[in-house]
A and B are shown apart, each in its own frame.
Chain A
Amino acid sequence: MRREGSALSGAATVMAKELADNLSSTRMRLLELLIFVSGAGAVYATIGSVKDLAGLVGEDQFIFLRIFTTAKEPLPSFVAFLGFLIPIVSIALGFDAVNSEFSNRTMSRILAQPIYRDALLFGKFMSGLVTLAVVLAALWIFVTGLGILMLGVPPGTNEVVRGFAFLVAAIAYGAVWLALAMLFSIVFRSSATAALASLAVWLLFAFFWQMVVPLITLAIAPPDMFDPMSQLATINVGMGISRISPNTLFGEATQAFLNPETRSLGPVLASQMQGADRGAPLPFDQSLMLVWPQMTGMIASVIVLFTIAYIAFQRQEVRA
């Protein structure tokens, strides 16, 4: 039997309210501080190399993108910084999305209004996503602006397009963590548990995954010293497992977008390099083709996680 009315009526209201909550909360002040510090850190990291960079103005046609990728000891590059920062921001935005309604005892009162549960979940997810997008866009503009000041040249069209693609990848990456945090906020009634569970997953992928991958790989596809094809297979299996981690997907996506010279994200055979113009940048559409699977993978993870969260929420008992 079809249900009457739109599943989304009220979603905009929920979104507006949650957005207002997000943007005015203390949590947001902390995130803004984090953004400022990381942006400033990234810029500081490039100050040292700015001379080298400035020397390259006119020679390197993608000098602007170097701001994002240049690392200066002991600071990581801006991109690496974001790899850590984005999951934290997303988790902070999502870990108490649903369970706080229960602990506030507002859930049954809100659901007694003429809306479907869908509206509440969509509204909350969208407000989280918009907040995330605002945060990342602000950060992106902040760093780009500082870059213009430091280098004294405006970015070229190609650089702007690539920079924007990088922003989209960053938002998709954040959405994965947001969906995960919201899933945990539904599954766990205590927001502290949900936060810890989200952080545990983040720790796993951020720090332990690269240690775990070789172990699993060697167990699944041990290389044969005398068979080069089996060694290639080992590498491919290893990359496959590594790509389960959204951090890997994000890393590869940014690499392709911000380093136009990147021609492949996997092993390249000598025969494949024949006739290649080494070091020559790829056009943007070719870079996009290269990381299309990574982008699709991240967006697919968001959809899968959100679907699981949706089902869990629909089946949840309203009474606390």
Chain B
Amino acid sequence: MSEAIIHTEGLRKVYGSKVAVESLDFNVEAGEVFGLLGPNGAGKTTTILMLLGLTEPTSGRARVAGFDPLRQPLEVKRRVGYMPDQVGFYDNLTGVVNLRYTARLAGLDRREADEAITRSLERVHLTHAGDKPVGTYSRGMRQRLAIAEILMKGASIAILDEPTGGLDPQSTREFLELIRSLKKDGMTILLSSHLLELVQSVCDRVALFNNGRIGLTGRVETLLQDVLGGSHWIRVEATGDNLEAAVARVPGVTKVARDGASLRVEATGDLRADIARAVVNAGGNLTMIAAGHASLEDVYTRYFEGVANAA
């Protein structure tokens, strides 16, 4: 196991009487894509701000690239590129001028900055728009400009807060491609999102967040295995009476739920043949049966259902 590049220990943040983040412990290894996953208001942004030293933790500590964000914020911020949720730029200035400003703040000299800006704009396919005011940019272009800023800075860690928020499917796909290419370059990426599918597709490991706590951490496949117990989802579309009961009697079926016109069946194995037989024997008209794919969303729902029931 390589050394953790982001490390937190009992991180806690309280706003007034509201606990935003509670006893947070997680590690991000160098070079991996780590997803903070949870609904809005779960404490993801607060966590990120604490990692950047922009918010002071109430207690606990964090290390980013070996530095304490609270005591050595400049060292941390030199190594970390941050893309906030709904990133903003100065609309009246051009993309290049915006980047030049942050480059100067980051301590690059004029010539270095211009070279780095040209290179990073090319990388995110914004070269053509570099001299246009950011006010004319689309949402996706702004997000890409933010990535260009991170590249320009030469950051080894990228922290992206809701990176695909408000993007259309096409832009989202391009953006995910960009994230994958950053990973290929060896960048460590921490991203937060409430879009579970997105996280599933790019993240090596995820932490499930709820109410300021991390519920589960681990690799996506491992989580699927652990929480869902290696279960299969089968989707059945059929008409007929009392099909639920008939399907539920099939050995190996653990759960049957009606989902609109179809049935959602949870089973220990691929029981499509048995279920089809049961439907037909019960006098139903089977129109479709398909093996579903367990997703992170199922893990999420299942896990937090469990938490809520236990409470």
Shortest beta-carbon distance from B85 to chain A in Å? 8
Instruction: Count A/B pairs, Cβ under 8 Å.
Output: 78
Whether B55 and A318, one on each chain, are in contact in the complex, defined by CB atoms closer than 8 angstroms, is yes
Interface membership of B166, Cβ < 8 A = no
Interface membership of B225, Cβ < 8 A = no
Known pairs A1-B71, A108-B82; A113 contacts B106 (CB<8 A) = yes
Return the chain A residue nearest B106 by Cβ: A113
Return the chain A residue nearest B107 by Cβ: A114
Interface membership of A264, Cβ < 8 A = no
Whether A113 and B77, one on each chain, are in contact in the complex, defined by CB atoms closer than 8 angstroms, is yes
Specify which chain A residues have a CB less than 8 angstroms from the CB of B101 in the assembled complex: 13, 17
Whether B77 and A105, one on each chain, are in contact in the complex, defined by CB atoms closer than 8 angstroms, is no
Interface membership of B46, Cβ < 8 A = yes
Interface membership of A111, Cβ < 8 A = yes
Choose from A3, A109, A111 the contact partner of B146 (Cβ within 8 Å). Answer: A109
Choose from B55, B102, B106 the contact partner of A317 (Cβ within 8 Å). Answer: B55
Find residues 213-269 in chain B having any chain A CB closer than 8 Å to their own CB.
Answer: none
Interface membership of A74, Cβ < 8 A = no
Interface membership of A97, Cβ < 8 A = no
Return the chain B residue nearest A315 by Cβ: B56
Tell me the bound Cα distance from A21 to B105 in angstroms.
16
Give the number of chain B interface residues (Cβ < 8 Å). Answer: 34
Tell me the bound Cα distance from A204 to B153 in angstroms.
48
Specify which chain B residues have a CB less than 8 angstroms from the CB of A319 in the assembled complex: 45-46, 49, 55
Interface membership of B88, Cβ < 8 A = yes
Whether B105 and A115, one on each chain, are in contact in the complex, defined by CB atoms closer than 8 angstroms, is yes
Specify which chain B residues have a CB less than 8 angstroms from the CB of A113 in the assembled complex: 77, 102, 105-106, 153
Choose from A1, A104, A106, A318 the contact partner of B49 (Cβ within 8 Å). Answer: A318
Interface string of A1-16 (1 = CB under 8 A from B): 1011100011001100
Give the number of chain A interface residues (Cβ < 8 Å). Answer: 25
Interface membership of B280, Cβ < 8 A = no
Interface of A is mostly: loop
Whether B105 and A106, one on each chain, are in contact in the complex, defined by CB atoms closer than 8 angstroms, is no
Shortest beta-carbon distance from B97 to chain A in Å? 9
Whether A106 and B90, one on each chain, are in contact in the complex, defined by CB atoms closer than 8 angstroms, is yes
Tell me the bound Cα distance from A317 to B20 in angstroms.
13
Residue among B45, B55, B88, B102 with the highest chain A CB neighbour number at 10 A: B88
Whether A5 and B84, one on each chain, are in contact in the complex, defined by CB atoms closer than 8 angstroms, is no
Interface membership of B177, Cβ < 8 A = no
Interface membership of A110, Cβ < 8 A = yes
Whether A3 and B71, one on each chain, are in contact in the complex, defined by CB atoms closer than 8 angstroms, is yes
Specify which chain A residues have a CB less than 8 angstroms from the CB of B84 in the assembled complex: 105, 108-109, 112
Specify which chain A residues have a CB less than 8 angstroms from the CB of B104 in the assembled complex: 10, 13
Binding site for B on A (CB under 8 A): 1, 3-5, 9-10, 13-14, 17, 21, 104-106, 108-116, 317-319
28 contacts between A and B (CB under 8 A): A4-B71, A4-B74, A4-B75, A5-B74, A9-B107, A13-B105, A104-B89, A105-B84, A105-B86, A108-B49, A108-B54, A109-B82, A109-B102, A109-B146, A109-B149, A110-B105, A112-B54, A112-B82, A112-B84, A114-B73, A114-B77, A114-B107, A115-B77, A115-B105, A116-B74, A318-B55, A319-B45, A319-B46
- A110-B105, A113-B105, A114-B106 given; 13 more Cβ-contact pairs under 8 Å: A9-B107, A13-B104, A105-B88, A106-B90, A108-B54, A108-B82, A112-B81, A112-B82, A112-B84, A115-B105, A318-B55, A319-B45, A319-B46
